[in-house]
Amino acid sequence: MRTLLPLLIALLACLLAACGASAPPMSYASEAPYAPGAAPAPAPEPAGDYDRDSVSDSMEAEESAPSMFSKLSISKSDSKTGDSTSVQKTAPSTPQPMQPPATASAPAEQPVIVYSAYLRLRVKRLIETVDAITAQAEKLGGYIESMTAQVVVVRVPVARFDAALAAFEGMGTVLQREVKSLDVTARFTDMAARLAVAQQSRERLLALLETTQDVQQRLRILEEIKRLSEQIETIQSTLGTLRKLADFSTLTLALEPVLAQHSTQVHRSPFPWVRSLEAHRATLTDGKKKIAYTVPTGFVLFEEDDAYRAQAADTSTMRAGVTENEPHGDAAYWMAAVDHEMIGRDEEPVADGVSGKLSWRAYRSKDAQPRYYLVGVVADDDRLFVLEGFFPTAEAFERHKAAVLASLGTFGAR
């Protein structure tokens, strides 16, 4: 027995060493979840010489890797049209009970779903209803994002979305109801993994820069570091926007008093698509795949939505759609028609221009807390490409104005 014991101990040591050598490495997503402020993992020892081709190949492989973006699930609406009102009823996708919302510095441990709703309500007393909406939002842990004379945009924690929807529906007669849910979990996870790869690559290059003496090699390393830094900043911004939109759902409430008031909108356009334009909701939803547009910095494009929609964390939204160019006219002709309609609604023009093929104009509502609305048109033979921008407050308009104006020239047909 005494002679077998040393042999058994030696055999056990060999088995343990073999297990340790064969343990698989952790994935990037496990090693470095989305954490903009977190310290990066220690960089490996740098090589003696900088191999620009090997670094470039690594970066290209990273960028060309198959995307893990999943199909975003969208709840559909069935519409029933009456003589004077349209009531759309949708069975909302019920949010799963959640723990306290994850912060932007943590990976998605639960589904990341962006919920939004639009309700058009007929109410008895406008001011009293607005007060009730404000009180209910605060009760549910939410807040008022923006408010005009007859439209209130509310943000509530995602776990209270159903409760908020039910409470607001009970404040009047529902004339129109639209609910959407976009599952961005796979997209969020994919981008978090890409962020970890980019951060680790930058750290390796920073370490390599300290040991490289050749001037040309140092310049190439600095260029690569700059590119990675810009990529990291873009990914962090997108992740932060997705997280904010998912943590706090958006409910837009359009209120119509039973008794008409002097501020009621006057629609004077003979063209249906112009007459149907609304700042707070999409009315042109066709032709998404035909639209070419570089989304402004600070906005996230919902790639699998049924319509073209990009949104910022403050609910500012860029939308686009395609309609018939009938009667046939150029962009200037149609912008004159839009202007005629907006002036009929007592909207105040605040800026206009021509960017590339796009003729556009921005309007401000005449409210104590005005919202801003941008409309632009590109005429392409028998089609019209229409771009819309919604900004809930003056602060939001100023915040995004430079980025939006810089992007307008990219809008047109794909």
In a domain, 324, yes or no: yes
CA distance linking residue 372 with residue 389, whole number of Å: 8
The confidence score (pLDDT) of residue 260 equals: 61
pLDDT tens-place string over residues 272-328: 999 999 999 999 999 999 999 999 999 999 987 999 999 999 999 999 999 999 999
In a domain, 384, yes or no: yes
342 close to 266: Cβ distance less than 8 angstroms: no
The domain that holds 298 is classified in CATH as 3.40.1000.10
State the greatest distance between any 2 C-alpha atoms of the chain, in Å, as a whole number: 104
Angle formed at CA 149 by CA 143 and CA 155, multiple of 5 degrees: 20
328 close to 382: Cβ distance less than 8 angstroms: yes
pLDDT tens-place string over residues 180-230: 999 999 999 999 999 999 999 999 999 999 999 999 999 999 999 999 999
List the one residue out of 411, 395, 387 whose CA is nearest residue 309. 387
CA distance linking residue 326 with residue 334, whole number of Å: 10
Residue 109 has pLDDT above 80, yes or no: no
pLDDT tens-place string over residues 13-33: 443 344 443 333 333 233 333
H or E segment to which residue 7 belongs: helix 4-22
In a domain, 262, yes or no: no
* Domain membership of residue 387 as a residue range: 291-413
- Average the pLDDT over 240-266 and give the result: 84
In a domain, 210, yes or no: no
List the one residue out of 382, 374, 386 whose CA is nearest residue 411. 386
CA distance linking residue 255 with residue 123, whole number of Å: 7
Termini Cα distance of the chain:
81
The confidence score (pLDDT) of residue 87 equals: 36
In a domain, 358, yes or no: yes
In a domain, 22, yes or no: no
Taking CB atoms within 8 Å and a gap of at least 24, the contacts of 370-373 are 370/148, 370/394, 371/146, 371/148, 371/151, 371/279, 372/396, 372/397, 373/279, 373/342, 373/347
In a domain, 186, yes or no: no
In whole numbers, what is the pLDDT of the chain averaged over residues?
79
Instruction: Report residue 365's pLDDT band, with 50, 70 and 90 as the boundaries.
Output: very high
Please name every residue paired with 179 in a beta bridge, in sequence order, or none if there are none: 117
Instruction: Report residue 265's pLDDT band, with 50, 70 and 90 as the boundaries.
Output: low
The confidence score (pLDDT) of residue 149 equals: 85
The confidence score (pLDDT) of residue 57 equals: 41
Report the share of the chain in percent with pLDDT over 70. Answer: 72
Poorest-confidence range of 35-39, 57-61, 186-190, 300-304?
35-39
| Buried b or exposed e, range 382-405, using 16+ CB within 10 angstroms | eebbbbbbbbbbeebbebbbeebb
Task: Give the total number of structural domains in the chain.
Answer: 1
CA distance linking residue 355 with residue 281, whole number of Å: 24
Poorest-confidence range of 56-70, 140-154, 291-305?
56-70
The confidence score (pLDDT) of residue 304 equals: 77
263 backbone dihedrals φ, ψ, rounded to 5°: -90, 5
